[in-house]
Amino acid sequence: MATPLYRWIGMGGVPPHDSPRAYLWERRLHWVMIGIALLAIPAFLFEIAATFAAFRQLGLTLDAFVLAAFSLELLWMLWVTNQRAQYLMRNWLDLLIIIAAAASLTGWEGEWIPLARLLRVTIVLLFLVRILGSLRNLFSPTAMPYVLGLGGVTMAIAGAGFYWLEPTVETYGDGLWLAFTSAATVGYGDIVPTTPVSRFFAALLVLVGYAILSMVTASIAAFFIGEDEKILRRESHHDIKMLREEVAHLRAMLEEKERRESGADRKSDQ
């Protein structure tokens, strides 16, 4: 069951006491939709940074694919869910993403280009919110390897992104360094983004870096809390075991006493 915070930001999931089939499909589509949502970032970069028409067309194709995937996911979940109105109310973020993505593909030109770009930036931010909210399952004691793996993959992709987008980055190693300093919000200043596209990419990476660092911190805290819980659980099991042994010993003593008293009563009767 989702917490009130996730319901408030439009990621409440399947309503309580709904169809088991709906919960099953929600789990099946969870990671698939995260992967599809991640495509919104390269799609945006292809559209605003590409100097070739083929790259821009690739960005538009990715946008259309993401829009179709989210639309089909929403329609399918409404089909398998019994409480359709409740599902829409609890997952209004998906509906907002679909509407915004459809509006961004209408092909505005002329004076509407700045508004269209602002809308695309908003869509990317909405996708980031959905991705980060969907990763809430990683806040667990056993999620540390997955979080570190996610961070490593993010840095590798971000390094390639800076190597492609930033003219002052001459090697992939410099791109990795800029990605790390941006994500960690260190900002040494030896290499900085200079173009609007690379600056926007750096801003996105800062948000992602904050999220990954938060997940690492949460995983570490959950690990130590989990260790304390394990110790308390072991102590509780030991105490319960000792209590059961004492109760069994007392029961045996009472039974032995009852046998003696019943034997003494029979002798007195005789």
Residue 42: inside a domain: yes
Residue 72: per-residue pLDDT: 93
Render 155-170 in DSSP notation, one character per residue: HHHHHHHHHHH-TT--
Residue 109: inside a domain: yes
Cα(238)–Cα(14) distance, integer angstroms: 40
Residue 221: per-residue pLDDT: 72
Cα(44)–Cα(34) distance, integer angstroms: 17
Residue 1: per-residue pLDDT: 46
Residue 264: per-residue pLDDT: 65
Residue 83: inside a domain: yes
Using an 8 Å Cβ cutoff, are 60 and 47 in contact?
A: yes
Using an 8 Å Cβ cutoff, are 199 and 49 in contact?
A: no
Q: How many domains does the chain have?
A: 1
Strands (E), the chain: none
Residue 217: inside a domain: no
Cα(135)–Cα(176) distance, integer angstroms: 24
Residue 64: inside a domain: yes
Residue 256: inside a domain: no
Residue 26: per-residue pLDDT: 87
Residues of the chain with pLDDT under 70: 1-10, 48-52, 104, 106-125, 128-144, 222-223, 225-231, 263-270
pTM of this structure = 0.59
Domain carrying residue 99: 1-138
Residue 11: per-residue pLDDT: 72
**Using one digit for the tens of pLDDT, what is the confidence trace for 172-216?**
899 889 988 888 888 788 888 888 778 878 887 887 787 777 777
Cα(268)–Cα(219) distance, integer angstroms: 72
Using an 8 Å Cβ cutoff, are 126 and 203 in contact?
A: no
What are the angstrom distances between the C-alpha of 239 and each of 44, 211, 236, 244, 246? 59, 41, 5, 9, 10
Instruction: Extract the tokens encoding 12.
Output: 């409440």
Give SS3 for 26.
Answer: helix
Residue 140: per-residue pLDDT: 59
Residue 30: inside a domain: yes
Residue 212: inside a domain: no
